[in-house]
Structure 1
């Protein structure tokens, strides 16, 4: 009531009006309303959830009652003065909208405004009556340079300007850019969009025009500094010079001496010039260069070369330029300014692993080109303390309690990224087309938790490549995990009544193969709607089981083993789907769906616990603590960790800018996890096709985010709305139950939840 009542006009002067809203009404759907919004010169005060004028309300509070320094400070930082309706800005908007619709071909359009006043508030309506647009009747061409005529006519089928289309000035400009791109990709290095012009004949009475697309000759300056015209020439690449350790500062100081002192290596028709040691072998650099001697100049090849060289991760600056020779040839000069070869970093950071908060210290070492092949080597040593859910004995039984820093984690991890496939495909054509990478990693991790102590050894061999603009592929042909549970808490094991589940917490080994596909069409410009989709598929143990069957190995406790450890056999797949909808420059909505299933078979009756799904926590359903929700309607507070084989989850989050570095969010989360095997004895835990939807948990809440650009700190307050562990028909809160402190959670996180 505070922000929406008449108090919102408290500081509006008499005779003035608070601008509360505006609307653009257009009777032609072909006119883009989002583009029309750009030309509105006066906007109302910002809203949260499209309803609350939060910032105006803060301003009114800060400027009411007795003057206080803290109120004034809050008002200046968070508050927003009332937007007073301005007739001048309204008329300016009308004029700008008229100019815009003219550009779009609606030269007979009528743009008007009307104001609706109510008390001290005003709403502005902009009405656009489009009328009949001007359309293109005929398209013809005019050439001052006949040599380019065949190419233009051959490409005319792709022209944006066609008979019957509306005369859109922006379309004409886009056509100039498109034609210029075609010319530059066909060898016309010096061609620019200024050489394309249009003649428009609008003398007809039927809202039709004839367009002549004209092409000027090339304009140059001769030795007498006079402008002369000549035909457009094709340019051929003559030589390619690559400065592999280019230092702009030294080059500026030493001038010609800098270039003449460089050592030169000729490889694959490219001259490599180096003023110091060889950092990356010429072979690796040449695989990222799409420009070739004796080829016609091609702008697309230049752009691909630029992106590919940057993607090596070796250079902070890539500059590609050309010098013309008198015989219409080009010398290509590529200047590569490298990063520091080796770096050391010490970090202290706050952590949030699945909702459990803590502090960690890292020592990182990086070598940018370990074997002179562009290999990036990372070595990391980590120590961490974390607060986990603990299980303790008390007189009245086993309870959960959050203890500060009761988990110790120590580890070391080494990774190397190689800018090509090691096996089986190593052709240069494949490298240039897909920019593949190979990764090798090894990890040791020691973790002492309240419930168990484990050692984890991981070794992974993987590939990644990009097949199209928005698609990335990741394949791990081999991933090995050795997990040793060296110490289990008796309270923890005794709390697990189900022997089937208890088998998850034993020594085991995983030999897996996995594939991931990521689709992300996020624009580099930002603030545009986009989709993010990730598909994962994983299989483990089938090859090992087949080998044991062939060798007729002996089973131990019904399972084959390697190094006295049972190896897991399963298949697993999941999808993560997200849609980011931008409402305006300061707010957006994110929709997310996650679905996954894991199925153990053959050598395994249960999934390894690190491969199971969980629900609850900072990145899941935030009304529940991490790993405490589910599975299904199962309820047992004696077990601090609940895991499942199937997971379904949906989230909706509305994000909005508040003030300074602070953003706000409202969210609704829903979902659960389930067991897949009917041998699981936990009541209500097994997935049933006719009953699973009745076991959805629902939570809601509010969050604040502190956006420091290089990272986001997040604080989410979650609240339960529907609790699946309650009796069916009485699962909604608060209709059937009184809220307790266990129905609320505070989640700390680093970064956005999704």
Structure 2
């Protein structure tokens, strides 16, 4: 008798299901007679095959998308019944008594609704929705595609191009390719450019700016003409012509563009007409306008009667208000970029909108511009105040470096315009509860609160407007907060205060400065260290076991817990460590003594309280234009320094010192280090809604002066759902150490991530990823050579994790599930590093919200 193992059963079942899918769902199941399923588009330019996305995207019909060469969505679509409702009615009427029996069992209404149920028609509708209908070749759409290709090349100056298409039947029935053949012909060139402008003032403006024209002598390209229209519209609207319309610009092209033409030169005339007239009245010339008056309505409602408002003149502006003016005049006019007697500029209108929105005291402003016959403008700016107080509540589900899954609750109250200068004061409270990773039944909880005071300007003793003008949307935030956290067992309380400035220096560049960032971290349960860091305790206990025969009876009583026959926690472990380091156990080996010293240094670093005085600067450049833009790049550079202010003060004031000769402030040694980070993200958008995403990160924090190491809260870790997904958070590194501690961290990190995202079915997307990186100790008090960075040879310790993932797109957020494998593990011997852990039972499963980069 032959015994069939479970693996054989799984393979057989998979083959059977695959066979059923392909047999029951042929790709051409819904392709009728004399019809063809489109399998491929091919474009030939002058006989050469081209693969340009630009031309391919012009084609109105594209082949059904495939996954690993299989049209999965088409097969799912073909699984659906074509007319399930009709089939159901036919089934009911086939037997006259069937409808009657069902009606007695259910009801007439339920029998009718049964046809709409999931079992009858719902699953077919679902398959059609997540699937993809077959792309059947349509001659009308093919001709339109041909015409679009021809128009595309005409726009580039090939007026006499010729495009034809041919159908190429496939080797399998009812399938065909479409080949498009393009002959360009002779290109045409711009030979001369003249201008015909009806407005003398616009003509003068244009003559001063002809050198920047997008239309130049050379090969004709329609894109240049569109760019010139946009350029001139910006020029005129930013030079006082507030009502200029882009439709007033057109071009005359003169030349012989027939196929037999011998001269390919074109004469271009740029026309700028008068504005379109209304009510058949004669139109006037465009002219340059200046502001005569700027009115600001601070309490505007739709039912507001202007006659009931009071007014105040301030520095050339007129402010209208009801009962009393609730805002300081300067705070309002600083947000307005129109000035009396200045030229109208569309740029100033945009900046005014943006700055008023930044005040967070008004809804989106409404602006009105009224021109008189003398060329002057009156600007009316209507501001509708937001409510004085507002309450926000939120509930989130999250996943972090420590939490497997958790929930967060938050509430905030905002009080607007508290000092009359559009300042906002907010009180926020938050709480969270979550499950700790790798600790069944253990939970983490957090409770905190913050008070934020924001100013819509740079709040500083001296005037900074010349350096950071108001059009850069400056903002100052002063915050004070506290946080109580029960997490991995040590528990933690933190108190922080921040003075932060941020501004936008260009459309894509943002800047942020923490002039003062103070954080005090207090560990509540330092005696619980060895209960939390079990790996570290196991190493120490093993050393104690080796020395037990050499210990005196008194030492055994002091070190060993008789109930567990292990070092007692915390007193026994502390006593054994102190005895070993003080030489009271002379038989201990040198390497074991060094390990004890390393364990004690790490324990002290993780349980000690931290006082961190920092200042930092962050530069962020992101050229992403919208949430749907998947072809962008982002740079983030951060520089940070900690402890320098206190170190300077220590030169004039004698601080109290601890046993390690470190300066103390309020009984806590302050932290001193310098830190820099560079983070780069790049996305490439591919056809078929596929995206290739890449991220590179490098961070380094170097302790000096009053510190020998970096605090745990400011150090780096590796692994986890947003980092190297082949390892759990805090599991990777440092260097080639093999999960030496329960929570591994260091002060130097390199990381490179690559992910290819592609659609699967409906809102379900897939991903293939590769994550490389590691952490090391560098220029601190770590002496383990396996954990330290020692130049380029340490780059051989970079770990590689690869895997696959699923993304469920819910529009507002993306739910992410990733499976990562340890492809290259630097903690293993050299001969075993590649693919030793590349097994499903050694995989790491990560859950995340939104994309990691």
What TM-score results when the alignment is normalised by the length of structure 2? 0.79
Identify if the C-alpha distance between structure 1 residues 341 and 666 changes in structure 2 by more than 3 Å, giving closer, same or farther.
farther
Task: Judging by fraction of residues, say which structure has more helix.
Answer: 2
The answer as to 2:531 corresponding to 1:491 is yes
Q: Deviations over 1:86-131 (max 9, x none)?
A: 2221111101221232233210112122333321332223232222
Q: 2:844 aligns with which of 745, 749, 752?
A: 745
Q: What residue in structure 2 maps to residue 130 of structure 1?
A: 184
Task: Judging by fraction of residues, say which structure has more strand.
Answer: 1
| Deviation for aligned residue 1:288 | 1.5
Which structure has the larger Rg? Answer: 2
| Deviation for aligned residue 1:200 | 2.0
Q: 2:440 aligns with which of 369, 392, 403?
A: 403
The answer as to 2:271 corresponding to 1:214 is yes
The answer as to 2:385 corresponding to 1:332 is no
Q: What residue in structure 1 maps to residue 605 of structure 2?
A: 504
Give the match's secondary structure for 1:387: strand
| Deviation for aligned residue 1:304 | 1.9
Q: What residue in structure 1 maps to residue 421 of structure 2?
A: 373
Contact 1:219 1:228 in 2 (8 A): no
Which structure 1 residue ranges, 5 or more long, are not aligned? 252-257, 390-400
Q: What residue in structure 2 maps to residue 12 of structure 1?
A: 31
| Deviation for aligned residue 1:510 | 0.6
Distance between the aligned counterparts of 1:387 and 1:42, measured in 2? 50
**Aligned length, in residue pairs:** 725
The answer as to 2:250 corresponding to 1:200 is no
| Deviation for aligned residue 1:62 | 4.6
Q: Deviations over 1:534-586 (max 9, x none)?
A: 01111111232233244344421221111011111111111110001111362
Identify if the C-alpha distance between structure 1 residues 4 and 53 changes in structure 2 by more than 3 Å, giving closer, same or farther.
farther
Give the match's secondary structure for 1:142: strand
| Deviation for aligned residue 1:135 | 0.7
| Deviation for aligned residue 1:281 | 2.9
| Deviation for aligned residue 1:445 | 0.9
Distance between the aligned counterparts of 1:378 and 1:428, measured in 2? 26
The answer as to 2:677 corresponding to 1:574 is yes
| Deviation for aligned residue 1:328 | 2.5
Q: What residue in structure 2 maps to residue 94 of structure 1?
A: 146
Contact 1:355 1:619 in 2 (8 A): no
The answer as to 2:165 corresponding to 1:113 is yes
Q: 1:180 aligns with which of 206, 222, 233?
A: 233
| Deviation for aligned residue 1:672 | 1.1
Q: 1:342 aligns with which of 389, 393, 414?
A: 389
Give the match's secondary structure for 1:334: strand
Q: Deviations over 1:311-354 (max 9, x none)?
A: 32333322222112233221111122333332113333212223
Q: CA RMSD in A?
A: 2.9
Q: 2:430 aligns with which of 378, 382, 398?
A: 382
Which structure 2 residue ranges, 5 or more long, are not aligned? 1-17, 88-118, 537-595
Identify if the C-alpha distance between structure 1 residues 32 and 465 changes in structure 2 by more than 3 Å, giving closer, same or farther.
farther
Distance between the aligned counterparts of 2:293 and 2:440, measured in 1? 67
Give the match's secondary structure for 2:76: helix
Describe how 1:5-84 pairs up with structure 2 within 5 A: 7-26=26-45, 33-48=52-67, 51-62=69-80, 69=120, 71-84=123-136
Distance between the aligned counterparts of 1:439 and 1:612, measured in 2? 25
Give the match's secondary structure for 1:81: coil
Contact 2:199 2:287 in 1 (8 A): no
Give the match's secondary structure for 1:315: coil
| Deviation for aligned residue 1:705 | 3.0
Distance between the aligned counterparts of 1:586 and 1:182, measured in 2? 37
Q: What residue in structure 2 maps to residue 233 of structure 1?
A: 287
Q: What residue in structure 1 maps to residue 591 of structure 2?
A: none
Q: What residue in structure 2 maps to residue 583 of structure 1?
A: 686
Q: What residue in structure 2 maps to residue 393 of structure 1?
A: none
Identify if the C-alpha distance between structure 1 residues 276 and 616 changes in structure 2 by more than 3 Å, giving closer, same or farther.
farther
| Deviation for aligned residue 1:137 | 0.7
Give the match's secondary structure for 1:452: coil
Q: What residue in structure 1 maps to residue 207 of structure 2?
A: 153
Contact 1:355 1:625 in 2 (8 A): no
Distance between the aligned counterparts of 2:635 and 2:710, measured in 1? 25
| Deviation for aligned residue 1:682 | 4.5
| Deviation for aligned residue 1:45 | 1.7
| Deviation for aligned residue 1:750 | 2.4
Give the match's secondary structure for 1:304: helix
Contact 2:821 2:839 in 1 (8 A): no
Q: Deviations over 1:64-102 (max 9, x none)?
A: 9x9965752541231112212222211111012212322
Distance between the aligned counterparts of 2:70 and 2:327, measured in 1? 57
Give the match's secondary structure for 1:481: strand
More displaced, 679-688 or 561-570?
A: 679-688
Give the match's secondary structure for 2:830: coil
What TM-score results when the alignment is normalised by the length of structure 1? 0.89
The answer as to 2:469 corresponding to 1:417 is no
Q: What residue in structure 1 maps to residue 592 of structure 2?
A: none
Identify if the C-alpha distance between structure 1 residues 678 and 349 changes in structure 2 by more than 3 Å, giving closer, same or farther.
closer
Q: What residue in structure 2 maps to residue 555 of structure 1?
A: 657
Contact 1:386 1:404 in 2 (8 A): no
Give the match's secondary structure for 2:772: strand
The answer as to 2:639 corresponding to 1:537 is yes
More displaced, 80-89 or 652-661?
A: 652-661
Contact 1:355 1:748 in 2 (8 A): no
More displaced, 419-428 or 300-309?
A: 419-428
Q: Deviations over 1:225-283 (max 9, x none)?
A: 553254433322111122223334x35xxxxxx22222322222222223466454332
